[in-house]
Amino acid sequence: MSIKIFLSDSIAVAENEFRQFRRNRSAILISLVVLPFFFTAALGAGQGGAGSTYSPTARIPIAWVDNDNSLASVRLWQTLATSPDFRNLVEGYTEQGALAQLGTKRIYAVIVVPKGFQNDLESGNQARILLYTDDSEPGMSDQIESTLTSYTQNFDPNVEVQPYLSQLQRQSVAGVGIVTKGATFAGFNIGLTTVLAIVQIFAGFYEIAGGMSREREEGTYARLLVSPVPIGSIMLGKTLFDILLSVIRTFTVLGLSVYGYGARPNTDILTLLALSLIIALVTMGIGFVVAALKMGQRAVVIIEFFLILFLFAFSGLIIDSNLLVGVSQVISYLLPFTYAFDALKRTVLLGRPLLSLTYDLEYMIGSIIASYVIAFVLLHFSRERLIR
Amino acid sequence: MKAFVRDTVAITGKELKQLRRDPVSLVLTIIFPILLIGIFIVIVSAFRATTHNVPIVVADLDGTPASNALLNQLTQSRFVHVTQLVQTEDQAYQAVANGQAIGAIVIPQGFGVALASGDAFVIVATDNSKLTSSQFVTAAVNDGAQALVNQATQEGGVSFGLKLAPIEVITRPLSGRPPTGDPILPGFLGMIAILGGFDDIVNAISRERERGTFPRLALSPVSLLAVYSGKMSATVVLTILRTALMLLIFTLYGLVIRGSLLLIFLTTILMAIFTLSVGLTISSRIRGSATLTVLEIAMTFPLFTLAGTFNSPLLLAPGGTAIADSLPWTYGNDALRRLIYLGSGFSAVAGDLAILLIGSLILLPIAILLSKRTM
């Protein structure tokens, strides 16, 4: 068969996919609107825009109980109350009264300055303050403790107005300054690398595996398989269709991120598009394998859900993959998406050129080839069985 | 009234019978909780690991006993693994830029002298695209520097111009429990209630529509209210089973459940009913069961971030907190945490439960009306 016929068949399959897609309003809504918009907007709401900064502890109501009533304790209160991190310090509580309110959602932490605070500081001893926290709020206790410690470890009771401390100074341990280098990134930019990949994975898998299982349930799949169109053309046609949707999704996520939330990816648009499409192709390959295993639509959706959960656990989204232990680290290293997230972080955040990420690219392209070959073989056997 | 109750019970029985015949759904009800807890264990065990071996390189440009002491602290650190000692600052940074190490620590020339006057500093360069690993590098340097300070203080005679931090912060958690990742677990229970509720609506309405049995059910001599009431009752029964399974897994994992079990069950039931109302509203527009499931899964993942499943909504950006405050699920998750983790009583969670109930009471009639119109 000539390459021309192969390509024309592929284009015919792609056209058919588009026609079906155009007729399905729900599919358009999910693929091109809900997934890219909802995920990006949720990221923006959770992290704030890339240009904006906020202190997580600033608005949390925290009770201030001063049992020392000394100049030093007042200065500590001034330091915290005028800082951008503790804007909601609530005064007027007794220690017992404040502790009774903890856990009722009126206050989430209590800072207690005990008697003898100033004496300890004057005599050169280490003074202590107590921090009671509502630890039922995940992550909040650690956040308040680390922010409070950053102010107290450099506190000078002899200074009336404490100098404003930079992030660098706050990180320093008394006596040894720690100068941090290396770019820091806005939470939104970090989240963008996740959202871009997750949107492609979510949509790509459902469009390929879900689409083919739907065809099977409608009865058109067998007809397509026994038609004179080669399996390669069917796969290429469906891939072309999904690549176009992936391009639209990539631009939607990036457009909303850049113009809506001020994201500044540290790389060019072509690199982002190329990576996004590679991730889409990895997903499509897995989607073809699942589809070739003759799964129903419900099974496809369930696998998709498990796949996403798997990614969160093992692909370095919550914790870096190099920190995972035992079998989980092996799973992480086997998953092609681990390399996809790594490549996205290195390009979007660090500005590394795409071609310098040879190992990540090799692994992803290798898995694309492997999954397409497996799917081709499985589909070929399906066709043989149908013809016989 | 008697007929209504009888019809409701009959529909509930039918729903549960259908589920029993659908092994995929049945398995899902059991597998979801186990899978979620499995993921939690993987993540927590990674954080709790005694050693991390995050690769770092060190450039000791000082070569004094003081810099050696710091280097020793770093080599003994349980967070990092010194893979290479380099000669220059540039080599150290290059190792990070090339991805050979996640952190580079430069001990500058004059460190020992500066330490004596209290002006010492070290430079820490990290690959911040590795979010958690880079924090371990900073923590290792902080620990090393603090150990150096403590050592100097203990030795007393050493003429380092060092001082301890003037104020020590002593943290006392309200629950009295040791600091772990366990406060996330109640959020997982909320997650199961939400996902279960969505799955139930797909089973109860969309799949029935696809099979063509829904119009038949509506035309049967059973009131439509009894049909919806029966389907809702089935969700209540399933939510009770899912909650019981999750609580059992929590207990086996070692989490002590402090609050009233009755209130925990009530909270998850209210969360599931609210989810059912949302699902019913959406299903009046999107009719395919698979499409509906994908849409609901796509919606729930961002919702988990905003509704305080994994992190306190108070730590979100101001816009995110406002969204979290407007989602009834946030109050459900909050109530679960207070009940399970703190052992709070009814008065502490009454407001949260009321919001879930009011949300359902407002949405449910609208959802049923929309669903009837598109039948």
A&B contacts, CB < 8 Å: 300
Point out the residues of chain A with pLDDT beneath 50: 168
Count of CB atoms situated within 10 Å of the CB of A222:
13
Higher-scoring residue by pLDDT: B194, B292: B194
Same domain, A199 and A273: yes
The answer to whether residue B130 scores a pLDDT higher than 50 is yes
Check residue A164 and give its pLDDT: 55
| Mean of pLDDT values over B166-178 | 82
Task: Tell me, yes or no, whether A190 and A330 share the same domain.
Answer: yes
Q: Are residues A125 and A250 in the same domain?
A: no
The pLDDT-based confidence of B359 (bands split at 50, 70, 90) is very high
Do A92 and A20 lie in one domain? The reply is no
pLDDT value at residue A67: 94
Question: A112-117 — which CB contacts under 8 Å span 24+ positions?
Answer: A112/A65, A112/A67, A113/A65, A113/A66, A113/A67, A113/A68, A113/A73, A113/A76, A114/A67, A114/A68, A115/A67, A115/A68, A116/A68, A117/A68, A117/A70, A117/A72, A117/A73
Q: Are residues A109 and A224 in the same domain?
A: no
Q: How far off is chain A from B172, nearest CA to CA, in Å?
A: 5
Q: Is residue A109 part of a domain?
A: yes
pLDDT score of A301? 82
In this prediction the pTM is 0.84
Q: Indicate if A10 and A128 belong to the same structural domain.
A: no
Question: Mind listing the pLDDT tens digit for each residue in B289-340?
Answer: 777 877 877 777 788 888 988 888 998 888 889 999 999 999 999 999 999 9
State how far the Cα of B191 lies from the Cα of B303, in Å rounded to an integer: 10
If asked whether residues A10 and A143 sit together in one domain, one would say no
pLDDT of residue A12: 93
Residues A241 and A343 occupy one common structural domain? yes
- Quickly state the pLDDT bin for B147 (edges 50, 70, 90): confident
* pLDDT for residue B201: 80
Q: Is A217 in the B-facing interface, judged by CB distances under 8 Å?
A: no
Q: A360 with A279, same domain? A: yes
CB contact under 8 A, B42 and A148: no
Domain endpoint, select from A171, A202, A217: A171
Asked if residue A373 and residue A239 are part of one domain, the reply reads yes
Q: Are B42 and A328 in contact (CB < 8 Å)?
A: yes
Residues 293-352 of A with CB under 8 A from B: 297-302, 304-306, 308-309, 312-314, 318-320, 322-325, 328, 345-346, 349-350
* Contact assignment for A298 to B24 by CB distance below 8 Å: yes
Instruction: Judge whether A179 lies within some domain.
Output: no
Q: Which CATH class is domain B52-155?
A: alpha beta
Give the pLDDT confidence score for residue A131 in this predicted structure. 94
Length of chain B: 375
Please answer yes or no on whether B316 and A46 come within 8 Å at the CB atom: yes
Based on the fold, state whether residues A11 and A102 are members of the same structural domain.
no
Q: Are residues A253 and A362 in the same domain?
A: yes
ipTM for the predicted complex comes to: 0.82
Beta-carbon separation of A43 and B302 below 8 A: yes
Closest by CA position to B146, among listed A233, A126, A298: A126
In a domain, A56, yes or no: no
Higher pLDDT, B359 or B146: B359
Give the per-residue pLDDT at B159. Answer: 44
CATH number at residue A156: 3.40.190
Task: For B335-350, give one letter per residue: b (16+ CB within 10 A) or e.
Answer: bbbbbbbbbbeeebbe
Q: Which of A57, A311, A135, A55 is nearest to B181 (CA)?
A: A135
Rounded mean pLDDT of B251-262? Answer: 91
Quote the number of domains for chain A. Answer: 2
Domains of chain B, residue spans: 2-44+177-373, 52-155
The range of the structural domain enclosing residue A357 comes to: 3-51+186-387
Q: Is the pLDDT of residue B173 over 70?
A: yes
Task: Quote the percentage of chain B above a pLDDT of 90.
Answer: 29
